[in-house]
Amino acid sequence: MPITKSAQKAVRGSLRKKAFNDRRNRAMKELIKKIEKIAKGDKTDKAETNKLLSSAFQAIDKAAKSGVIKKNNAAHKKSRLSRLTK
């Protein structure tokens, strides 16, 4: 347990940041899984896939911007998803 007041404050801040980062990460992963599931299915609805792809790109970009994932990791994920949907 942290002893000084500043260390206690730092723990509270880091827990808030962790919660926020976990939410971003979970949202991104859920969208990616949805797209992969649709891509593996037989019938592909282009309009639905494009809508999901757009929101997945947005989630990935937000995660990269806030430092949840790195920039090249984001580019890799986006490239792989766009390849899957074509």
Domains of the chain (ranges; CATH) run 5-85 (1.20.58.110)
Provide the CA 36 distance to its chain's centre, in angstroms: 14
Residues of the chain below pLDDT 70: 42-44
pLDDT for residue 45: 76
Percentage helix, strand, coil for the chain under 3-state DSSP, each rounded to 5:
85, 0, 15
Note the pTM of the prediction, 2 decimals: 0.85
pLDDT for residue 21: 96
